[in-house]
Structure formats: C-alpha cells, structure tokens
Chain A
C-alpha cells in the first residue's frame, strides 16, 4: 500500500494543476471585485443602453459587456452561459429587424429594397398589409431597437457572468439568509444534475431498446432518484452542521414585520407608477420611494436583530470596486446628459 503513496506526481495531475492555476488567475481578476460592483456596472450599462438613441453607443455597450465578460470570466457554472446570452442578443436583433420588414408600413421614401406587397383580409377591419417597400429609416429604427434590447441583455449577462452569486449572497442581510442558502445550494446541484443525466442515458442503452418504456421514464426516474437522494443528504448534513438555528422573534415583532413589508410594497408600486407616468409629480414619487426604502430597512433590521449567525470573511470593497462604481456613475450621468435628461 505504501507504494501507492510514494509514486511520483502523475502527468495527468500536472496538467490538472496547470489548468487549475490558469483558472485561479481568471478568478483573481473577477473574484477580487465585490460581486455587487459587477451588478452595479451591469445595471448602469443597461440603463445607458435603454436611454441611448445612437446606434454606435449601443454597439459600444454590447462590445464592452461581451469583451469584459469573456476576458474576466471563470469556468464556474454561472459563468458558462455567456455564449447563451450572446446568441439571445443576436436573436433579438434579427427578430426585431425581421418583424419590422414583415409588418411594414410601405413607403417609397429613402428606399432600401422593395418586396412584393401582401394584403391579408381577415374578414373584419381594414386589410393587413405585409412586406412592401422597405425604407432605410425603417431599417435604421429596427436596428436601433434591436441593438438597444441586445445591449440591455448583454449588460445583465456581464453581471451574471462575472459576479459570483455565492459571494453576493454572503452580503445579503441576515433576514434573507435562508433564501440565500437555498439559492447557493441550487447552484451546487445544477452541475451534478447534468452529470447524472449523462450517466443514466448511457446506462440506459446498456439494456437495449425497450418496447414498453419510453426514453423519458427510463431517464427521468433514475435521475430524479439521484437528485432527491442528493438533496436529502445535503439537507441532513446542513442540519447536522447547525443550519436553521435562530433566536425567536416575539409575536408582536413578527406581526409588525408583515405589516411594514406590505406597506413598503405598496409604496414602491405607487412610487414607481407615478415616476413613470406623471412627470409633474416626480417629487411626490421620489418621496414615496424613499419612504419605501426606509420601511424595507426597518423590516430587515428587525428580523436580523435576533440572528445568532455570524459571517466569515465578508468581502471588503477595494480600490477596484470604487473605480467600478465611479465608472458606473459616469456611464449613467453621460447617458442622462446626452439624452437631455439633465438639461
């Protein structure tokens, strides 16, 4: 048995360490920054994209978001979906343009290309006109719309790819601890689910083709069994490690938490409605929204007060975080200024 131990480090293991170091390097770049900062940047870019009227700005935001994500991402499960977001963005752009070409209000001014016009009569109302002459203006507007949406999607993709959700969850207030843990457990289970799906599908073929059992039953049942087993054993182990301990809140405190949460929700809804619909009542809207924020802080602090848990190594903000915040603020300010929001 001793000889198993004394063996030299195998070549495969060397490769693994190298891999591992490279991955760690990438992680250092994205991981040393607070995940919250990535979300702030992501939202700021999304806001800027939503407000812009210039195609080049939207293109720039798309490139920036994809470039940053591709450069700094790790191979963590949440970071693997970048290509999905890129395809989604491309699909949005294409669909948006196609839509405008199909449902086109024909105009020969500034003509780009002409398609045969198609008039559909539905038996009621005016006939629907499809295709027809497509003007450059139409194309430009469609492209702008599509790019704007794509840029918003990619900005969120940036935050999603670079921010480690587990670390973000660590910064959530204690009152949300249970939710946060549930999410982080789900993140852990996802790759295992894929692994057991692959294993079971291969195993199924070992028994040959079954005339009676569809691929679904033969795959779903073992995978489900696997997943249930894993979740239960995880839950047991978390419980055995003290998860779920809490100081008890009095009845009064619980009741007031419920009432204040409801009030906060109503204030939020009313505030955002006013802000978006009635420009003359902006001040009122802002007052309502700030009241809602106060209510939320109250709820969170009450329900956190009886907390027995502590946190190991909360992530501290660094210079890089402050730079990202300034960058985000600049992005929003410039786009507000450019669209005349501040004039």
Chain B
C-alpha cells in the first residue's frame, strides 16, 4: 500500500535531517502507530505521505514514495487527496462547512463526484463512524469526539484507502479518545484502510495496533511489532515500563489481559502519604459555584488544600475542572460561594498580590509568553515580581536545566515553555499553584520532568491543584483526588482508592496487578 524508499527530509536552514534514509512498508488494512518524542519528526513523516511536506512545510525531500505501487514522490497534496485522507489535532480548526453533511461532502466536491453518489456516500460514511443522526447538525454544536468522527468520515468519503491522523485524540477526554481508537481499528479491519496514527499517549492505542513506527528524533525511523518496539526505547507507556521492570516476556500491552500476573510483597513499596491533616490549610472553598448563563459549570463545591498536598481534579471535558481552578484563583468567573486562604479571599487580591500567593498556569502556557528571547522573558519576570535579578533564571534552570537564553520562547519545547511559565509564576514565592491540564501535548520524558518539579514543590510545603485527564500522571503524584462530573464532585479519596482495580479510573498498574495500594509503576522495585 505505502512504501517509503530511502526517504530523507530536512528543513531549510537546519543542518540535521529530520528523517534519514527511512525504508518503510505498510500493508493494506494495517493499523500503524507512529510515535516518538515531541519534535522528533512524527508529523513530518505523516505529512510526507500526503505531500504536505514539503509542499506546505517547506524543506527538501529525497528518496521515493510509492502509493499502491505507483510513484507519487513530490505529488501535490490536492492531487494526492483521492488516495490519502488526513485528519489533524483540532477538528474544529479544519472544518470548512457549517453542517456535518456538507463537511463530509467537501472532499468529494473537489474530486468531482456526481450529486447522487455524494448523497449515498455521505450517508454510508456517516453510518460507518456512527453520526448518521447528526447529518444536518451544526458542526459547532457537536462534542469533540463527534467532531473528530466527522473529520474521519470526510477523510474517507471519497474512497481513500489510506488514512493519516496526526494526534487526533489529544484534545479529547479518555472515554472519547478510546472510542475513536476503537473506531479506527474497526475501519482498518472492515474497510481495508491502512491507518497511520501519531499519538503521545501510547497507553491508549498500543493494544489495538498491528505495528509501531518509532521516529527516534536523530533521523532514524524503525518499524516493529508493538510488543518488540519498546525494549530499547526511552519513551514507554506505564504498562510496558511495568513489564520491563518485572521482566515479563513478552512485554504486556493490554493491562486487562495480564491479571493473572502476581507480584510478591517485597517487589513493591506502598505509597506513604504523610499525615497532612495537621498541616496548614492553604485553600478552602465553601459552596463555590460557577454559572455561564443557564449553564451551571460548577455546582456548589467544597474542597480543601493543605500545605504539601497535590490535589488532583479529574473528570471529562466540560465537567468543570477548569471552571473550578479558575474560580479558586479569582480571575475566573465565580457565581457564588467563598474561598478562604491565609491571605484572605483570592477574589479580593490584586493581580500582583496573587502572583506572590496563589498563581495559575493555564492550559496554553504559551499565552503568557510574548517577548523575543528566553533571557528577556526571565528578566521581565524578575521585574514584574520585584525580586532580585536572575531569580527566575535560576528557578527555570532547576526545572528545565540549561537552555540557550537567546532562544525564542516559541521555539522552546512544550515542556520547556511550561517550566518557564511555572518559574515566572513561582518566583514571587506563591505557596499555591493551580495547574490546568499541564500534561497536554507532553511526551513521557517531559511528563517525568514535570512530575519531578511537582514532587519538589510538594516537598517544599507548597500546595498544588492539578486539573488533569491523565490517570497515570495523577496516580504518580497526587495525594488526594476529586472527580467531577457535570460540575459536581462524584468521587473523592486517596489515589489508592480512586485508581484501584475495578474502579472507573483504574490505572494501568492496578489493572495489571490488582494489588491493593499498588497504583503506579514507580512503586515497583526493579527485578
């Protein structure tokens, strides 16, 4: 179906090629996961296949690209559109039409299908992805998962047998993401579509795919079976890390299938959560509420945060996580209730006072960056916080190591941007930091770095509120968890309770080992 022969790709102005002499073959109906660290060239590899690289991205392509045995090297994206369907991260950002059916028909219109055939195909592909009842709906009124289904239907409606998806689940909550992955697996099998899927959160997809392509970041690209892919590789999902630590052979990919595996009590350590009930209370909400018009985003919620605590707020998209932490911070909307802290109600603090007491890092950390170099951003932060020069720089160095200060903030990796914003938000000595979905778009290595930072804050006696979908990340770090649904707390407890096997948010480790109190790979001693 797809053959890459000696394919190389380099961007203009960069010495090192992103991809060097890649030789890959993908069969009809094969479901392939493409992974690699952020910035390794995953997206570039995908874009080579439909011509967006180099025609849209710039750069130089070498080698040959064969689709269905025909040479399409250097083909323009719109000429490859009849062969390759393409779906990207943000479905709503790539919509052209306003209703579902018009969107699905768009590609067919470009390719000159006649009206009758279009009507039939729109119906057939809407059924395939399970949105046949929504054909006349407005795209803007759909949920993220439904929008991504529309994008998949429109990428396939013109009969494309090759589907390329660039992190299609990154903006979705776990259940919607799992649905999309299952749908893709079905499409590969029953429609004989070859699928290339780039994804960070390997734990979501590993058990469903036929093979794995790793883009290593040094230009090399390798393809292997899922159970063999990660032996030599740094970025592994928790279940693989667990298998490697315990020396399981073959490596387990699906935690629910490894429940017969047992672990001796000397092979793991219990998580000792220090008694914090006597520690100082940094935040306490009483009946905190948020309403947007008729929509009650947050129904009266009571939570408490002690010093040295990491309080995780979990729940689906739209369950009220962001509303809660923004309302606590004081800059977000609050419709009722109160928040108390040693500094008074945060609502009554000025922006400058908040910077020294209760700070927040938003979902898109780069919204806070607007200067031309890292050095300027660090200096700016010192000035605004009225602290000694280079304070922010040394904090940033603790978080992210040495980074060239002449770099443009937008050229930093997602993890480094987060570290920079975090440093700026902590330099004035804030004791509470609120993090809104900090792991979005981070690879495993960047997540580990962030986890180290949060552990450090915890040890220093700061209070951290962490809004996240990321079960594994939260299982690793949190001291307490609240789960929101429709703006209401539906579950509250220690991570050992919330992530235990059989609970709705079971972590991979507890699914695989079902041992009470064992929820995260870091508790397991290497064999």
Chain B's nearest CB lies how many Å from the CB of A36? 17
Which residues B14-40 have CB closer than 8 A to chain A? none
Taking a contact as CB atoms under 8 Å apart, the answer to whether A207 and B424 are in contact is yes
Collect the chain B residues with CB atoms within 8 Å of residue A204's CB. Answer: 367-368
Cross-chain pairs A/B with CB under 8 angstroms, 27 sampled: A1-B175, A1-B504, A7-B485, A15-B294, A15-B295, A192-B93, A199-B367, A202-B362, A206-B362, A207-B381, A208-B351, A208-B385, A210-B380, A211-B384, A212-B380, A213-B371, A213-B380, A237-B88, A239-B77, A241-B106, A242-B82, A243-B106, A245-B78, A309-B110, A309-B112, A312-B105, A312-B119
Closest 8 CB pairs of A and B: A242-B110, A3-B504, A242-B81, A4-B175, A312-B105, A237-B94, A203-B367, A240-B86
Taking a contact as CB atoms under 8 Å apart, the answer to whether B109 and A310 are in contact is yes
Taking a contact as CB atoms under 8 Å apart, the answer to whether A12 and B331 are in contact is no
* Contact-residue bracket for chain B: 35 or more
Assembled-state Cα–Cα distance A62/B486 (Å): 44
Which residues B146-191 have CB closer than 8 A to chain A? 154-155, 158, 173-175, 178-179
Taking a contact as CB atoms under 8 Å apart, the answer to whether B364 and A199 are in contact is yes
Which residues B99-128 have CB closer than 8 A to chain A? 101-102, 105-115, 118-119, 122
The verdict on A221 contacting chain B, using a C-beta distance below 8 Å, is yes
The stretch among A101-109, A181-189, A266-274, A318-326 that forms the contact with chain B is A181-189
The stretch among A51-59, A127-135, A155-163, A228-236 that forms the contact with chain B is A228-236
Taking a contact as CB atoms under 8 Å apart, the answer to whether B111 and A188 are in contact is no
Chain A's nearest CB lies how many Å from the CB of B315? 10
New contact pairs (16) apart from A234-B93, A242-B111, CB-CB < 8 Å = A1-B504, A76-B98, A166-B97, A199-B362, A199-B367, A200-B367, A206-B361, A207-B425, A234-B94, A240-B50, A240-B80, A241-B96, A310-B109, A312-B101, A313-B102, A313-B115
Among residues of B, the one whose C-beta sits closest to the C-beta of A311 is B109
Among residues of A, the one whose C-beta sits closest to the C-beta of B158 is A242
Taking a contact as CB atoms under 8 Å apart, the answer to whether B370 and A221 are in contact is yes
Collect the chain A residues with CB atoms within 8 Å of residue B362's CB. Answer: 199, 202-203, 206
Chain A interface secondary structure, helix, strand, loop or mixed?
A: helix
The verdict on A10 contacting chain B, using a C-beta distance below 8 Å, is yes
Taking a contact as CB atoms under 8 Å apart, the answer to whether B115 and A312 are in contact is yes
* A residues contacting the other copy or chain, number (CB 8 A): 63
Taking a contact as CB atoms under 8 Å apart, the answer to whether A12 and B486 are in contact is yes
Taking a contact as CB atoms under 8 Å apart, the answer to whether B98 and A166 are in contact is yes
Taking a contact as CB atoms under 8 Å apart, the answer to whether A12 and B360 are in contact is no
Chain A's nearest CB lies how many Å from the CB of B81? 3
Which residues B269-319 have CB closer than 8 A to chain A? 294-297, 316, 318
Among residues of B, the one whose C-beta sits closest to the C-beta of A170 is B102
Assembled-state Cα–Cα distance A230/B318 (Å): 22
User: Interface 1/0s, chain A 239-257, versus B by CB < 8 A?
Assistant: 1111111000000000000
Assembled-state Cα–Cα distance A221/B424 (Å): 19
Collect the chain A residues with CB atoms within 8 Å of residue B355's CB. Answer: 206-208
Assembled-state Cα–Cα distance A236/B76 (Å): 11
The verdict on A50 contacting chain B, using a C-beta distance below 8 Å, is no
Which one, A1, A164, A222, A243, contacts B174 given CB within 8 A?
Answer: A1
Assembled-state Cα–Cα distance A16/B114 (Å): 36
Chain B's nearest CB lies how many Å from the CB of A330? 32
Among residues of A, the one whose C-beta sits closest to the C-beta of B371 is A213
Given known A-B contacts A202-B331, A203-B368, A242 and B107 have beta carbons under 8 A apart: yes
Taking a contact as CB atoms under 8 Å apart, the answer to whether A11 and B486 are in contact is yes
The verdict on B195 contacting chain A, using a C-beta distance below 8 Å, is no
Which one, B105, B111, B352, B366, contacts A245 given CB within 8 A?
Answer: B111
Which residues A7-29 have CB closer than 8 A to chain B? 7, 10-13, 15-16, 19-20, 23, 27
Binding site for A on B (CB under 8 A): 50-52, 55-56, 76-82, 84, 86, 88, 90, 93-98, 101-102, 105-115, 118-119, 122, 137-138, 141, 154-155, 158, 173-175, 178-179, 294-297, 316, 318, 331-332, 351-352, 354-355, 359-362, 364, 366-371, 380-381, 383-385, 410, 424-425, 485-487, 504, 506
Among residues of A, the one whose C-beta sits closest to the C-beta of B384 is A208
Collect the chain B residues with CB atoms within 8 Å of residue A212's CB. Answer: 380, 383
Chain A's nearest CB lies how many Å from the CB of B50? 5
Assembled-state Cα–Cα distance A4/B172 (Å): 13
Chain A's nearest CB lies how many Å from the CB of B203? 11
Collect the chain B residues with CB atoms within 8 Å of residue A244's CB. Answer: 78, 110
Given known A-B contacts A166-B97, A237-B94, A312-B105, A205 and B351 have beta carbons under 8 A apart: yes
Taking a contact as CB atoms under 8 Å apart, the answer to whether A206 and B425 are in contact is yes
Collect the chain B residues with CB atoms within 8 Å of residue A239's CB. Answer: 52, 55-56, 76-78, 81
User: Interface 1/0s, chain A 137-151, versus B by CB < 8 A?
Assistant: 000000000000000
Which one, A166, A206, A218, contacts B359 given CB within 8 A?
Answer: A206
Chain A's nearest CB lies how many Å from the CB of B487? 7
Taking a contact as CB atoms under 8 Å apart, the answer to whether A188 and B96 are in contact is yes
Assembled-state Cα–Cα distance A23/B136 (Å): 13
The verdict on A194 contacting chain B, using a C-beta distance below 8 Å, is no
Taking a contact as CB atoms under 8 Å apart, the answer to whether A188 and B95 are in contact is yes
The verdict on A308 contacting chain B, using a C-beta distance below 8 Å, is yes
Assembled-state Cα–Cα distance A245/B97 (Å): 18
Given known A-B contacts A207-B424, A310-B115, A243 and B78 have beta carbons under 8 A apart: yes
Chain B's nearest CB lies how many Å from the CB of A175? 15
Which of B98, B352, B360, B366 has its CB near the most chain A CB atoms (within 10 A)? B98
The verdict on A279 contacting chain B, using a C-beta distance below 8 Å, is no
Collect the chain B residues with CB atoms within 8 Å of residue A5's CB. Answer: 175, 179
Taking a contact as CB atoms under 8 Å apart, the answer to whether A313 and B119 are in contact is yes
Taking a contact as CB atoms under 8 Å apart, the answer to whether B109 and A240 are in contact is no
Collect the chain A residues with CB atoms within 8 Å of residue B88's CB. Answer: 233, 236-237
Chain A's nearest CB lies how many Å from the CB of B451? 22
Collect the chain A residues with CB atoms within 8 Å of residue B354's CB. Answer: 208
Collect the chain B residues with CB atoms within 8 Å of residue A7's CB. Answer: 485
Assembled-state Cα–Cα distance A209/B95 (Å): 37
Collect the chain B residues with CB atoms within 8 Å of residue A4's CB. Answer: 173-175, 316, 504
